[in-house]
């Protein structure tokens, strides 16, 4: 299998002495949907900056599709589409011109550039806005325009730095769908996020970085499987008088109010058994949800283990 990104012992010390990366090693396979997760200041943007040849590293090696970023700057740029956190196109340029200019920068012939521009503006719901100046777009539209621009040369690897920061829930979900679709079509995707739900929804593999060091690097499935319990909130259709008497081992139950319960179920224990018991007591469950995002729980426990608490 081809390796899209190979990072070995990457160090970065900024001019002001901040050690942003301390020996980071990571591999991302071609075709992967990979999350780089971590709190603010952990070093995520610095890693992206080094991969995209915008930040000089202090030590270590970085290869993009088997080629060193030190010696193959042009090839690396062709392979990569990068969506940075900050909106960085001209506010006065028209939407379609922003995409076409980028296509020109990558040397696409005019006809192909126009086709691609139409394709990606349509896919990202911006085609109707093509002749407007970008400053008139909403925040979410600007962010989508950044993605369209990053895709116009159809890079093999798309890197997004906090793609949905400040984007409302509905739009966030449509962006997730879009990214999942282009990943299914073969584009390798790396995203940084501190929206853990985002990583859980989309990504197959994950690395957690904290204070410039990778503290976890595994598959999302495995990580989620490591949680020892899950906490659910159950809403009851009928009113409860007092706490239900549940007799299942290890299940902790806590009444929040007359219509809702918090239930902590250890892994391996079926939630069905809880339902059966509640049913016996005449309680009808009208809805159920996870109390906290599971990844969030795990993330916090990892950071604690790393001495952050
Ligand atoms: P993240 O993207 O995870 O929020 P960054 O990579 O932006 O983290 O930052 C990592 C560390 O490097 C932080 O302590 C940040 O303050 C510092 N840093 C980032 N950019 C610079 C810079 N240009 N000069 C000096 N320090 C920087």
pLDDT digits (tens, 9 = 90+) for 216-261: 899 988 887 777 777 888 898 888 887 777 777 778 888 888 889 8
Question: Which residue spans of the chain are classified as CATH 3.40.50.300?
Answer: 3-224
Give the position, in ligand 1's atom list, of the atom nearest the Cα of 42: 3
Q: What is the dihedral of CA 291, 295, 297, 300, to 10 degrees?
A: -150
pLDDT value of position 309: 46
Q: Count of alpha carbons within 13 Å of 162, Cβ hemisphere only?
A: 16
Nearest-angstrom CA–CA distance, 277 and 267: 18
Q: Which residue has the higher pLDDT, 46 or 247?
A: 46
**Ligand 1 in reach of 56 Cβ (< 6 A):** no
Q: Decide if 189 contacts 31 (C-beta within 8 A).
A: no
Helices (H), 58-138: 73-79, 95-105, 110-123
Q: Which residue has the higher pLDDT, 157 or 283?
A: 157
Residue 26 has pLDDT above 70, yes or no: yes
Instruction: Name the pTM for this structure.
Output: 0.81
Pocket test for ligand 1, best of 35, 40, 46, 303 (most atoms within 8 A of CB): 46
Cα of 225 to ligand 1 centre, how many Å?
32
Question: Which residue spans of the chain are classified as CATH 3.30.70.1560?
Answer: 229-298
Residue 216, strand partner residues: 208
**Ligand 1 in reach of 18 Cβ (< 6 A):** yes
Q: What is the mean pLDDT of residues 73-101?
A: 94
Superfamily of 3-224 according to CATH: P-loop containing nucleotide triphosphate hydrolases (3.40.50.300)
Residue 196 has pLDDT above 80, yes or no: no
Query: Taking the CA atoms of the chain, what radius of gyration do you get in angstroms?
Result: 23
Pocket test for ligand 1, best of 17, 20, 192 (most atoms within 8 A of CB): 20
Residue 308 has pLDDT above 90, yes or no: no
**Ligand 1 in reach of 24 Cβ (< 6 A):** no
Architecture in CATH of 229-298: 2-Layer Sandwich (3.30)
Burial of 21 (0-12, 13-18, 19+ CB in 10 A): buried
Q: Hey, whose CA ends up nearest to atom 17 of ligand 1? A: 20
How many C-beta atoms lie closer than 10 Å to residue 255's C-beta?
A: 15
Q: Which residue has the higher pLDDT, 68 or 301?
A: 68
Nearest-angstrom CA–CA distance, 143 and 207: 24
Residue 205, strand partner residues: 34, 219
């Amino acid at each position: 299998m081809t390796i899209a990104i190979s990072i070995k012992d990457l160090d970065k010390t900024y001019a002001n002495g901040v050690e942003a990366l301390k020996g980071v090693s990571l591999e991302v396979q071609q075709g992967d949907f990979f999350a780089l997760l971590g709190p603010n200041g952990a070093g995520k943007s610095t890693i992206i900056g080094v991969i995209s040849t915008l930040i000089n590293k202090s030590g270590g090696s970085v290869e993009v599709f088997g080629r060193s970023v030190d010696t193959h700057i042009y090839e690396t740029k062709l392979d990569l589409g990068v969506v940075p956190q900050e909106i960085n196109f001209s506010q006065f340029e028209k939407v379609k011109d922003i995409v076409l200019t980028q296509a020109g920068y990558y040397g696409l012939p005019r006809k192909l550039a126009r086709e691609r521009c139409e394709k990606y503006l349509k896919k990202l719901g911006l085609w109707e806005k093509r002749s407007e100046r970008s400053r008139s777009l909403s925040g979410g539209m600007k962010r989508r325009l950044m993605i369209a621009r990053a895709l116009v040369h159809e890079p093999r690897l798309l890197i997004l730095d906090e793609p949905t920061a400040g984007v409302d829930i509905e739009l966030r979900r449509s962006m997730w769908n879009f990214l999942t679709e282009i990943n299914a079509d073969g584009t390798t995707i790396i995203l940084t996020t501190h929206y853990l739900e985002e990583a859980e929804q989309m990504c197959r593999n994950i690395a957690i970085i904290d204070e410039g060091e990778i503290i976890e690097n595994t598959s999302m499935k495995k990580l989620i499987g490591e949680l020892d319990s899950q906490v659910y909130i159950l809403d009851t259709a009928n009113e409860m008088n007092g706490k239900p008497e549940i007799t299942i081992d290890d299940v902790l139950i806590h009444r929040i109010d007359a219509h809702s319960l918090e239930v902590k179920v250890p892994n391996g224990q079926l939630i069905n058994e809880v339902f059966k018991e509640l049913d016996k007591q005449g309680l009808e469950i009208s809805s159920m949800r996870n109390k906290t995002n599971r990844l969030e729980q795990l993330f916090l426990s990892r950071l604690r283990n790393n001495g952050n608490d």
